[in-house]
Amino acid sequence: MAIRTEPFVMNMGPVHPSTHGVYRMRLTLDGEVVVDVEPVIGYLHRGIEKLAEQRTWTGVIPLTDRLDYISSMSNNLAYCLAVEKLAGIEIPERAEYIRVIMAELQRICNHLVAVGSFFNDNGAYYTPFLQMYREREKIVDLFEMVSGQRLTYNYMRIGGVSQDVPRDFVPAVEKLLEQLPPAFDTFDKFLKDNEILLARAKGVGILSPELAIDYGITGPVLRASGLAWDLRKEDPYSIYDRFEFDIPTCDEGDSYDRYRIRMLEMRQSLRILQQAVKQLPEGPVKADVPHFFRPPAGEAYGRIESPKGEFGFYVVSDGSIAPYRCHIRSTSLINISVIRELVLGWKLADLVTIFGSIDICLGEVDR
């Protein structure tokens, strides 16, 4: 006798342990299988784009910290690049190097959190998560050393950075560069070939390159699908054309590859850091930008390869002390838009795995 079954609707979020913030998914489940998913966003909307219109050009920088709060430095950098492009400001050599060091440290920082919470989403009871947080803590200590903050750094300024790094910063980075590779080796040794992880993540949520391009996906998620697209190489901003590094790619585009690609990228970041620290020149760290900064009327789009993908600011100036319009191309929002294509037909547990492997930050999704 066939038992009549029917799908039911379940609300996942906005407060749920594995939605990485206040994301909500209206799931239609057939038993455990996901039949339909309808994302609902906006629970963390603070209107940052609108708020930016009432701040001075410099005053927007603290707002950018609150976008992707896992990687504030990168957000600062993207905004400053956009405004500098708008006003045509040349920034000092030392400031460029400090920015690159910060951005790459931030990338490692972000990927450690991403991989840690990916394992958490797969049900590892916080151990990989906390081990990775231990490494992240060392980087956060460095950020605290330069900016006094541990999460929202507000460190970069239009025309450079807010202050020079302290004298013991460079030795501290060098020490960190010695400590991190063994730690990454340990992570790979214990996590890479874990049988249960392979079972859970291999082949789950395969994102084809075509689909990724159609959805405008960037960053590690795109590179895991096999496309070597990285703005640091394709459209070098700042001084990235001076460094030697590779763009790692994977072939499958499944959740496992999205985890692997982040581990590989961290090692490339270490390479960039080693070169940047070695080449770090002396000199001023801030161009001469007036206190009441009025860029000429016009518009500019500044973009970077943030840890999560292409992250850009589109700023419009009417010649006043505040942006006329400030649009944010938020990576997380665009990357997560593909979630429906990935999860249909998979089980509830796979939904969590796929969601975790994309690595979003709700501060950025909702802006």
Partner 1 sequence: MAIIEPVINIPVILQTLPSDWPGNFWGHWVLFSLVTIIVVILMVMGFIYIARREIGRMQSRVGPNRTGPFGLLQAVADVLKVLLKEGITPAAVDKPIYWLAPIVTLVPVFVVFAVMPFTNGGMLANLNIGVLYVVAISSITTVGMFMAGWGSSNKYSLISAMRVIASVVSYEFPVLISIASVILIAGSLSLNDIVIAQDIPFILLQPLGFLVFFIAGLAEISRAPFDLLEADQEIVAGFHLEYSGIKFALFYLVEYGEAFLLSCLISTIFLAGWRGPILPEWLWFIIKALIVWFVMVWLWATLPRVRIDQMMALAWKFLLPLAVINLVVTAIEVLSLSEDMLWIMIPINFAMTAVLILFWSKKFFRLGWGRVEV
Positions in the binding site for partner 1 (CB under 8 A): 8, 10-11, 16-18, 29, 31-32, 119-127, 130-131, 134, 194-200, 202-204, 347-350, 352
Q: CB nearer to partner 1: give 119 or 187.
A: 119
Q: CB nearer to partner 1: give 59 or 203.
A: 203
- What's the min distance (Å) between Cβ of 223 and partner 1? 22
- What's the min distance (Å) between Cβ of 141 and partner 1? 15
Q: CB nearer to partner 1: give 29 or 41.
A: 29
- What's the min distance (Å) between Cβ of 183 and partner 1? 11
Q: CB nearer to partner 1: give 175 or 202.
A: 202
Q: Please report the sign of the dihedral spanned by the C-alpha atoms of residue 68, residue 85, residue 147, residue 129.
A: positive
**HSE, side-chain direction, 13 A CA sphere, residue 304:** 26
Q: CB nearer to partner 1: give 13 or 248.
A: 13
- What's the min distance (Å) between Cβ of 192 and partner 1? 12
- What's the min distance (Å) between Cβ of 359 and partner 1? 15
- What's the min distance (Å) between Cβ of 306 and partner 1? 26
Q: Using alpha carbons only, give the angle 148, 154, 159 rounded to the nearest 5 degrees.
A: 120
Q: CB nearer to partner 1: give 219 or 253.
A: 253
Question: With contact defined as beta carbons under 8 Å apart, do 21 and 44 qualify?
Answer: yes
Q: CB nearer to partner 1: give 125 or 292.
A: 125
- What's the min distance (Å) between Cβ of 191 and partner 1? 9
- What's the min distance (Å) between Cβ of 260 and partner 1? 15
Q: CB nearer to partner 1: give 32 or 168.
A: 32
